[in-house]
Amino acid sequence: MSENKQVMDELVQLIRFTFGADDSVPVTRETVAFDIDGWDSLSHATLLIMVEKKFGIQITNEEGESLDDVGMLADLIERKAGKAS
């Protein structure tokens, strides 16, 4: 499995867990907060903390606020996790 696919799969699972979204809710690289029930600024911060713990990375406030969609978050994880290895 490619690193990109693995990060995306793990991120989708984390998003589903964080927001209680079942498999009927599509989560793709193009998914935005508006697409997921309960994804607001507070829960976004919770998600980012969970991402940091899961992937062993640090996300700055500026980075967290600049994310437009799930794909941007996956790319950020890959960049940061790649530097950590």
Domain parsing of the chain, residue ranges: 3-78
pTM of the entire predicted model: 0.90
Give the model confidence (pLDDT) of 5-56 as tens digits. 899 999 999 999 999 999 999 999 999 999 999 999 999 999 999 999 999 9
Give the model confidence (pLDDT) of 53-67 as tens digits. 999 999 999 999 999
What is the DSSP annotation of 49-69?
HHHHHHHT----HHHHHT--S
CATH number of 3-78: 1.10.1200.10
Secondary structure element (H or E) that encloses residue 43, with its range:
helix 41-55
Q: How far is CA 83 from CA 57, 76, 77, 80, in A?
A: 9, 11, 10, 5
Q: How far is CA 36 from CA 5, 30, 31, 71, in A?
A: 21, 12, 8, 15
